[in-house]
Structure 1
Amino acid sequence: MNWLRNIAGRVYAVYGLLIFVVTLLVMVIPIWITSLLPDPRKTRYFLFLARGWMKVFMPIVFCPVYRRGKEHFKKGQVYVVVCNHNSLMDVPVTTPGVPGVNKTLAKQEMSRIPLFGMMYRIGSVMVNRKDEASRKQSIERMREALDMGMHMILFPEGTRNRTGYPLKSFYDGAFLLAIDAQVPIIPSLVFHTRKILVPGKVFFALPHHIDFHFLPPVETKGLKREDVRMLKEKVFMMMWDYYGEHNQD
């Protein structure tokens, strides 16, 4: 019955794309108005719109998002939120799904995409990974975001995990940021997005619910840059073990 699944996956992909385009067009003008504001108001209002948008869009495409562990976010405390990365579906889940005002880190190329670029410029710190000056500037801007009371959402695997393992090895960046800023890290895990956008399939998708879980925070107070390896390994093992206990794939 693979042929039937292939047809269903492509029909659903067309349906999902049409719903996305229609809802995006509704959101363009409010988001553009929001883009004219200074931070952190700009990001706060953008997230208000994005959360409303995703609360409508995700159930309509039969991919409801269920969150667990929101109580780990304490009022008045900013965090570096680290998350696994399996699919393009992770972004519309994580950005509106993390409680409070937040930004993420995005490739500068994303800012050039029509319509999407505007949203990335509001909700992200942009970086040209091939340019050392841009990388240094992105670190400064992430620190500024934390200082303004915004969480930073980072994917420490760097790129999407296309392996058969729960996680790829982590880069140091997220953990150095947390140590330098002396803010806690909240590990988080997104489940099932790879079931929606199936790896290796072109213009193919299938509906599935999504789970987004937050783990208890990991403190960084008193840690120094030489502790980054220990911190990174601790968070990696927390996420690896939790994934093994809760994954239903």
Structure 2
Amino acid sequence: MNIILTILRGIYVTYAATVFLAIMFVILPFIFIISFQGRLKGGNIMAYFMRCWAHIWFAFSGIWCKRIYQAARKRETCIYVVNHRSYLDAALAAKVMGLPFRSLGKVEMGKIPFFGFIYKKTVVTVDRSSAMARARSVREMMNTLKANISILIFPEGTLNESGQPLREFHDGAFRMAIETQTPIKPVLFLDAHARLPRKGLLYLNPGRCRVVFLPTVSVNGLSLADVQELKQRVFNAMDTVLRKYHQYPNPSLQLAG
């Protein structure tokens, strides 16, 4: 039975990867042409191509999404703060987040042939090994927010492999929210890690992906002295909801003050 399941899994993953690559090569020429429209205008147009890519790939891969809104939907520029447990998260974000938006992503992904070109044109990349590069990424994100384009940040900074709902958050998203007076929209990807576990691509499987949109957190009137309190408030809200949907063995991780 295990051999049969392994063969079926291999067939499914090969099929899903083929569909992913086929869509990528179809849209690649359009992305190249649109790139001449500039980073802001061109990036907004590219976001629709990325959404189309995600919609097609998820449908053909047998992965369906369910959006759960804990507050009334509202179109506004915001900073999406999202938990990060799977490499599927980026594709899921392209499918479900309100447009226009940009994600903050690792600069290393831009080195992948073909895909890297699309990645660099649609993501604000950050090189965490360089203070100068990090500062440049922050400036680009702030300029993006000023252009009324939302930003998506994984505040844990890397994949959560802790066994807890969340890893400790970095300050960046919360400092930026306060400095630009941009509201924070916490979002939870509940099942992405089940669809694509950390074990690797060979464990990709079809099924549902629930996405929970939590109430917006206002930063009106806050100063940089409130960063830690704001970070803790958002962390607690996300942690509480995650524990309602999944069981975890240990008490909630508490952030340092």
Instruction: Give the TM-score taking structure 2 as reference length.
Output: 0.90
Superimposed CA distance per residue, residues 31-78 of structure 1 (whole angstroms, 9 cap, x where no aligned partner): 111212113221211111111221111011001122232975533x31
- Asked if the contact 1:70–1:99 (Cα under 8 Å) also holds between the matched residues in 2, the reply is no
- Asked if the contact 1:47–1:96 (Cα under 8 Å) also holds between the matched residues in 2, the reply is no
Residue in 1 that maps onto 2:210: 211
Distance (whole Å) between structure 1 residues aligned to residue 109 and residue 36 of structure 2: 19
Distance (whole Å) between structure 1 residues aligned to residue 72 and residue 79 of structure 2: 13
Residue in 1 that maps onto 2:10: 10
Where 1:66 maps in the other structure, the secondary structure is strand
Residue in 2 that maps onto 1:176: 175
Match runs of 1:185-196 below 5 Å:
185-196=184-195
Distance (whole Å) between structure 2 residues aligned to residue 31 and residue 121 of structure 1: 11
1:125 deviates by 1.2
Distance (whole Å) between structure 2 residues aligned to residue 89 and residue 230 of structure 1: 30
Where 2:166 maps in the other structure, the secondary structure is coil
- Asked if the contact 2:88–2:192 (Cα under 8 Å) also holds between the matched residues in 1, the reply is yes
Q: Does 2:25 align with 1:28?
A: no
Where 1:209 maps in the other structure, the secondary structure is strand
Where 1:160 maps in the other structure, the secondary structure is coil
Residue in 2 that maps onto 1:69: 69
Instruction: Give the TM-score taking structure 1 as reference length.
Output: 0.93
Whichever residue aligns with residue 168 of structure 2, its letter is: S
Q: Does 2:240 align with 1:241?
A: yes
Q: Mind listing any 5+ residue stretches in structure 2 that lack a counterpart?
A: 249-257
Distance (whole Å) between structure 1 residues aligned to residue 6 and residue 164 of structure 2: 25
Stretch of structure 1 that moved more, 196-205 or 162-171: 196-205
1:7 deviates by 3.0
Superimposed CA distance per residue, residues 202-248 of structure 1 (whole angstroms, 9 cap, x where no aligned partner): 63321121111211100111111111111111001111111122349
Residues 148 and 218 of structure 1, relative CA distance in 2, 3 Å threshold: same
Residue in 2 that maps onto 1:119: 118
- Asked if the contact 2:186–2:215 (Cα under 8 Å) also holds between the matched residues in 1, the reply is yes
Distance (whole Å) between structure 2 residues aligned to residue 216 and residue 103 of structure 1: 20
- Length, aligned pairs only: 248
Distance (whole Å) between structure 2 residues aligned to residue 109 and residue 40 of structure 1: 22
Residue in 2 that maps onto 1:80: 79
Q: Mind listing any 5+ residue stretches in structure 1 that lack a counterpart?
A: none
Residue in 1 that maps onto 2:254: none
Stretch of structure 1 that moved more, 182-191 or 92-101: 92-101
Superimposed CA distance per residue, residues 128-171 of structure 1 (whole angstroms, 9 cap, x where no aligned partner): 11111111111111100000111000000110111221111111
Distance (whole Å) between structure 1 residues aligned to residue 184 and residue 112 of structure 2: 31
1:8 deviates by 2.6
Distance (whole Å) between structure 2 residues aligned to residue 12 and residue 98 of structure 1: 27
Whichever residue aligns with residue 148 of structure 2, its letter is: G
Whichever residue aligns with residue 105 of structure 1, its letter is: L
Whichever residue aligns with residue 219 of structure 2, its letter is: T
- Asked if the contact 2:186–2:216 (Cα under 8 Å) also holds between the matched residues in 1, the reply is yes
Stretch of structure 1 that moved more, 164-173 or 32-41: 32-41
Distance (whole Å) between structure 2 residues aligned to residue 184 and residue 63 of structure 1: 30
Match runs of 1:84-233 below 5 Å:
84-201=83-200, 203-233=202-232
Q: CA RMSD in A?
A: 1.9
Distance (whole Å) between structure 2 residues aligned to residue 203 and residue 243 of structure 1: 26
